[in-house]
Amino acid sequence: MDGLDPYIACLAGSFALYLLLRRGPLVMKLVGALLGLGTMGWLVVICSEVVPGEVDPARNVLFLVFATIAISAAVRMITHSRPVYAALYFVMVVMSSAGLFLLMEAEFMAFALIIVYAGAILITYMFVLMLAQQASEAEQIDEAPLYDRFAREPGAAVIVGLILAGTIVTASTTGLGQLPPPVDAATVNTANGALLEQLPNQYRDAVLAADPDLVWPPEGADSVPPIQWDADGPYVHVEGRDVRIDEEFMPSNTQHVGWSLVASFPASLEVAGVILLLAMFGAVVLARRQAEHSEDELRVDAGLKPVHTIEDEEGGA
């Protein structure tokens, strides 16, 4: 693979995006779409040559599906002329990105991405869009503001995106050789055993599933016995014998992340909760309608007598 191939692909993709963003005939937009699809295929070939090791074919197919949906929806999000549809394409970007996280076995990141962006943040966007000027009908697109129908500075936006893409490509193609070696199995087993010992209910279920006749926790023990590992897997020494623990009871990645958030980063977790709560309050404030009160109602609320009475209104009638 030539070292300039990734950068040429990024340049071609940026030019395709520029054709889609700028004002022009439909033919130029079709050329930009075809050029963008070709660039995506080229980048897939480049990435397959850079990533070392063998990849599961099924996982590779899912990666291509989610990546294609994410990139296509992202392009459509910034090129669509109607803000509401752009927000829906943003949801597709979030969902497909969550699928990519699932392929990397990062379940917590996938569901956090959906909850935060496709949930709280998108709801706030939708309330803002409801207050924006919209066309009376779908066919009357000319009624929408000009800044919603066309990109104001497509060239500047593409240049910024090209710089970001070049940075990502450089980190992806030159940084793989500098990554630290994978964590060995002994370190992973030690971390799993330490976390399982801190989850008493799951630890008890794991031991009783292996030997239901055991008394848990062990009588007379100040603390639960530690989990040990050998060639056959995890086991715990209790009541003078070794009890094997099934691998399915070992903590998952999501449990490790959740325990780290609660035990090591409680302040950050609370701050994130406060930010999401403020976002919800902001959405409620943006969506609420101002109730119009008459002059007499305002005077009554202030503790004053109304200017007009029912008798005056009937007499005037």
Task: Set out the domains of the chain in order of their start, with CATH numbers.
Answer: 5-178 (1.20.120), 185-249 (no CATH), 268-316 (no CATH)
Most confident of 71-75, 146-150, 276-280, 293-297: 71-75
Is residue 33 a contact partner of residue 74, using CB atoms and an 8 Å limit?
no
* Stronger pLDDT, 212 or 3, i.e. the higher one: 212
Mean pLDDT of all residues belonging to the chain: 77
Give tens-digit pLDDT for 245-259: 888 888 888 888 888
Calculate mean pLDDT across residues 56-76: 85
Q: Which residues contact 98 (CB under 8 A, 6 or more apart)?
A: 109, 110, 111, 113, 114
Calculate mean pLDDT across residues 290-313: 65
* pLDDT of res. 99: 92
Give tens-digit pLDDT for 191-209: 888 888 888 888 888 888 8
Is residue 143 a contact partner of residue 136, using CB atoms and an 8 Å limit?
yes
Is residue 59 a contact partner of residue 44, using CB atoms and an 8 Å limit?
no
Residue 2 — pLDDT band, cuts 50, 70, 90? low
Residue 314 — pLDDT band, cuts 50, 70, 90? very low
**How much of the chain exceeds pLDDT 90, in percent?**
3
Q: Distance (Å, rounded) from C-alpha 115 to C-alpha 148? A: 27
DSSP state of 238: E
Beta bridge partners of 238: 241
Residue 313 — pLDDT band, cuts 50, 70, 90? very low
Q: Which residues contact 89 (CB under 8 A, 6 or more apart)?
A: 73, 74, 76, 77, 80
The two structure tokens encoding residue 152: 């104001």
Q: Computed from CA positions of residues 192, 195, 199, 203, in that sequence, does the dihedral angle turn out positive or negative?
A: positive
In the block, tokens 């989990």 appear at 227
What number of CA atoms fall less than 13 Å from residue 249's CA on the CB side? Answer: 22
